[in-house]
Every structure is written in C-alpha cells, then in structure tokens.
C-alpha cells in the first residue's frame, strides 16, 4: 500500500512504496487520488519508468494534451507528442545554444503560471519526470492558490468573484519580450476566457486561478486588470503559500493545475543538462462552464 508523507499539513506530500512503472492496484490509485485532492502537489521519488510508462500512469487521470511544439511545422519533436519537452536539449541530445528559439520559448516557464490556462479547455494536472538534473539550481516552486484564496480579505474576495480573465500564451511570452510566433500559433494562442476564482468539485475548496498568461479582465480597463492580476500573483506567491522542490533524478512530481501555480528556477543551462518530460491531463470542462458562467464570444 502507498504511504503518504505530508511536506506541509495541507500542501505537497511525498508518496512512497509505489512503483508507477507497474500496473497500479485500485487501492493505490484511490489513495493517490485522495492525497492529490488534499495536497495538490505529490512527489513520487525514485520512479525509473520510460516515456510510455509515464504516459500510462498519466492516463489514469484523464485524456492527455498534445504538446504545443507540434503546431510549428519546422519543429521536430524529441519526445512523444503527448509529452512536453521541458529540457534544455536539442534532438541530438546536446545543450541548446543561448539564442535557440526553443530555449527562449521555454524561458516562459520561469514566470509563475499554471499549465495550459491559455487553452479553452485547460489542464487538470501535470506530471513532470526528472531524467537529468543540474547539481545546483533548477528547482521548481509551487504556490497553493487555495490557501492564497482563503487568506484574502473579504473585500477582495467580493471584488474578484465572478471576474473573467483572458489568458494567452503570447501574453506570458510577451512579458519576456518573446514574440516569435507564426500564423498557426497566433491563431491557436488567441486569448481564452477563464474564471479568476473557482470552486474545486472534488474538495469543495475555493481557489484563485492565476497565471502569467492572464493579461486582461473582461469589462475592466487593461491597466487596471494588469495591476489587479499582478497584486493577486504577488499575494499568492508569498513564501507561506510556496513549496520549493529540489529535484533528484527520477522524481516524478504531479501537481493540480486547477489550484496551483509553478515556476522553474534558473540554473546554468549552458553547463548542465536538465532533461524533464511532462505529461498533462485535460480538465473536464472550461472553467467558466464549470463555474456556471455564460461567457459571450469576443
Ligand atoms: C512545466 C514547467 C518548470 C520547471 O513543466 O510545466 O513549467 O522547473 N516546468 O521546469
Ligand atoms: Mn509549466
């Protein structure tokens, strides 16, 4: 039977006594689901599976996303199309050079975000496997947006209830001055509406839903929206809401994209290889639909 070792009382836990490369018993899967609902970030140390086994584990939680790298014709995928390549490596296994487009694109992961909030049907959860880890730096930090919501004052809770933000991958990349998108990508990355506050059906808890992909809020001047989103992200990423994960080789970390943000920390990416592979599971419905909000098209 799996063991659950909390890292903090309500956020992040380590899961032991399980080999995710093998078929999971219904009891173990149920225990993992229960722990995931409570802790939102689960660390599974020492998982020596291959890509197919990682995908098979992820499929227990729902349908998998296809990597956005596939949108760009000239990109040749290093990994299976259901895996996001979060590494600093090219197809030849060598470190990407400083001006490589993929490297610059992936720098967006250094900003606080949640995966795929720029998709109308966003992500439910992500599973990231560490194959090669730099000896220093390269941690991943996670913020608990449920605890951050609970800690808001009542006035702010009232002010943000029912707000709808526009999320686009181009918005987060533009924050770093990255604008190199082709026509297909521009179309795929048009802004989509997402609630700012959501209720999680499994735990019943309320949560903020934030990301650097969000730039505008419906019915609010752009500058005011940016200011509000910045304040909310600053609030939600105070140290008391954050777990910082120092990777060991073969860690699998699974997080709830509905109620956490994360960011990758810097490391010497011209010196060390960091090979990370992510499977991402889609949520069941767009967030506005889940919250019962009818949202007009643009
Ligand atoms: C991701 C991500 C950050 C990191 O895999 O979605 O944002 O530390 N990763 O690599
Ligand atoms: Mn991410």
pTM of the full structure: 0.97
Q: Can you tell me the mean pLDDT for 177-190? A: 96
pLDDT at residue 75 tops 90: no
Question: Which residue owns the Cα nearest ligand 1 atom 2?
Answer: 109
CA distance linking residue 87 with residue 132, whole number of Å: 9
- The CATH number linked to 202 is 3.60.130.10
Question: Which residue owns the Cα nearest ligand 1 atom 3?
Answer: 264
- Which tokens belong to 217? 């809020």
The answer to whether residue 256 is domain-embedded is yes
Which string of DSSP letters, residue by residue, matches 104-145?
HHHGGGGS-B-TTTTSSS-EEEEEEEEEE--SSS--EEEEEH
Are 129 and 276 a contacting pair, CB within 8 Å? Answer: yes
Question: Which ligand approaches the C-alpha of residue 118 most closely?
Answer: 2
Nearest residue to 216 via CA among 179, 239, 191, 186: 191
The answer to whether residue 297 is domain-embedded is no
Q: Can you tell me the mean pLDDT for 196-220? A: 98
Query: Per the structure, how many domains does the chain have?
Result: 1
Domain carrying residue 138: 3-290
The answer to whether residue 38 is domain-embedded is yes
Distance 182 CA to ligand 1 centre (A): 23
- Which tokens belong to 280? 């991402």
Tell me the pLDDT tens digit for each residue of 85-115. Answer: 999 999 999 999 999 999 999 999 999 999 9
pLDDT at residue 296 tops 80: no
The answer to whether residue 229 is domain-embedded is yes
The answer to whether residue 175 is domain-embedded is yes
The answer to whether residue 298 is domain-embedded is no
Distance 298 CA to ligand 1 centre (A): 31
The answer to whether residue 112 is domain-embedded is yes
Question: Which ligand approaches the C-alpha of residue 264 most closely?
Answer: 1
Residue of 64, 86, 212 to mutate, ligand 1, most atoms within 8 A of C-beta: 86
SS3 of the chain: helix, strand, coil, percent, to 5: 30, 25, 45
Percent with pLDDT over 70 in the chain: 99
The answer to whether residue 214 is domain-embedded is yes
Question: Which residue owns the Cα nearest ligand 1 atom 9?
Answer: 264
Distance 140 CA to ligand 1 centre (A): 7
Q: Indicate whether residue 115 lines ligand 1 (CB < 6 A).
A: yes
Full 3-state SS string of 214-259: EEEECCCCHHHHHHHHHHHHHHHCCHHHEEEECCCCCCEEEEECCC
Question: Which ligand approaches the C-alpha of residue 280 most closely?
Answer: 1
Distance 139 CA to ligand 1 centre (A): 9
Q: Indicate whether residue 269 lines ligand 1 (CB < 6 A).
A: no
DSSP secondary structure letter of residue 279: E
pLDDT at residue 153 tops 70: yes
Whether the CA torsion 53, 59, 63, 64 is positive or negative: it is negative
Q: How crowded is residue 18: how many other Cβ atoms within 10 Å of its Cβ?
A: 21
pLDDT band at 298; cut points 50, 70, 90: low
Q: Can you tell me the mean pLDDT for 232-250? A: 98
pLDDT of amino acid 297? 67
Q: Can you tell me the mean pLDDT for 68-76? A: 88
The mean pLDDT value of the chain amounts to 97
CA distance linking residue 207 with residue 145, whole number of Å: 5
Are 129 and 260 a contacting pair, CB within 8 Å? Answer: no
pLDDT of amino acid 251? 98
Lowest mean pLDDT among 150-154, 249-253, 291-295: 291-295
pLDDT of amino acid 294? 83
Q: Where are the alpha helices (DSSP H) in the chain?
A: 26-39, 51-59, 101-106, 145-150, 154-160, 169-175, 183-188, 222-236, 287-290
pLDDT at residue 158 tops 90: yes
């Amino acid at each position: 039977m799996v063991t659950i070792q909390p890292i903090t009382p309500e956020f992040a836990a380590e899961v032991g006594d399980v080999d995710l490369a093998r078929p999971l018993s219904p009891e173990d899967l149920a225990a993992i689901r229960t722990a995931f609902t409570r802790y939102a970030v689960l660390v599974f140390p020492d998982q020596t599976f291959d890509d197919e086994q990682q995908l098979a584990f992820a499929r227990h939680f729902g349908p998998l996303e296809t990597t956005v790298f596939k949108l760009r014709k000239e990109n040749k995928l290093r990994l299976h199309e259901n895996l996001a390549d979060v590494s600093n490596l090219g197809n030849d296994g060598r470190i990407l050079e400083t001006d490589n487009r993929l490297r610059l694109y992936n720098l967006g992961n250094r900003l606080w975000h949640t995966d795929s909030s720029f998709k109308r049907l966003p992500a439910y959860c992500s599973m990231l496997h560490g194959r090669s880890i730099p000896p220093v730096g390269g941690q991943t930090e996670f913020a608990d947006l449920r605890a951050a919501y609970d800690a808001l004052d009542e006035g702010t809770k009232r002010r943000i209830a029912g707000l709808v933000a526009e999320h686009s991958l181009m918005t987060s990349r533009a924050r770093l001055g990255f604008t190199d998108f082709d026509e297909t990508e521009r179309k795929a990355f048009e802004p989509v509406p997402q609630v700012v506050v959501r209720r999680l059906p499994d735990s019943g808890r309320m949560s903020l839903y934030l990301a650097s992909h969000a730039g505008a809020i419906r019915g609010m001047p752009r500058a005011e929206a940016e200011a509000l989103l910045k304040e909310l992200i600053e609030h939600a990423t105070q140290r008391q809401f954050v777990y910082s994960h120092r990777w060991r080789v073969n860690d699998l970390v699974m997080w709830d994209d509905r109620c956490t943000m994360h960011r990758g920390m810097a490391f010497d990416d011209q010196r060390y290889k960091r090979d990370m592979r992510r499977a991402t599971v889609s949520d069941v419905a767009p967030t506005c639909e889940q919250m019962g909000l009818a949202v007009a098209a643009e």
